[in-house]
Structure 1
Amino acid sequence: MINLRRQLEFCYYSRHENCSGNYTFIAKSPIVEPLHYNEPTQIHLAFGDPNDQIYVSYATNSNEMIPQCSYGLDSSSLHFQVNGTTITYKALDMCEGRANITGPPGLA
């Protein structure tokens, strides 16, 4: 699974043949673990002002690590590194819908 942020366990439920009534638990998967738990995703680059600056932003799973960006004049020799700052958003910071609920139907 790409960009997995947390452990997942898949559960299979079923209803009677006529699709009515309550769901019945059938089975569950083994727990699926992330391969790269804090892998940066949603990477964005933007020119700054003055135009010799570049802003880099990305999302990770944790705010416990210092964001870092390595750069250089050639992709094979990234000799420069800069530390960044972090901002954490909670579900209540989001607008509506699936972004701010944690129960069914989203289960996020």
Structure 2
Amino acid sequence: MAVGPDPRPVVTLFRFSLDAPGAQQVSLAGEFNGWRTDEIFLADVTGRGRFSVTLPLKPGRYAYMFVIDGATWMTDPRAEAYRDDGFGNKNALVNIAVPTVGHGDT
């Protein structure tokens, strides 16, 4: 019996967060959403300027930046790596590894 590929995409939940006291709004722009600034918004659930969002991402390496109040682009100060963006700034990078499945896992 032939086994076909799993039809479900493999994704990993990744949490992006930024401390931005005084910000009214923080959005996330990156390679995973075509660098759109109006799609992914972080929530400040405590009201203390700690914004976060959790996204499902497929395996790969993604460049991204935060956008404060729709105007100020900011690199993630806690990113695991950085890459020159070609405009004199650095994009943050996140690497989403392919999940491994152990023996007996389904």
Q: Shared fold by TM > 0.5?
A: no
Which structure exhibits the higher relative contact order, with contacts defined as CA atoms closer than 8 Å and separated by 6 or more residues? 2
Query: Larger C-alpha radius of gyration, 1 or 2?
Result: 1
Q: TM-score, normalised by structure 1?
A: 0.31
Q: TM-score, normalised by structure 2?
A: 0.31
* Structure whose residues are more often strand by fraction: 2
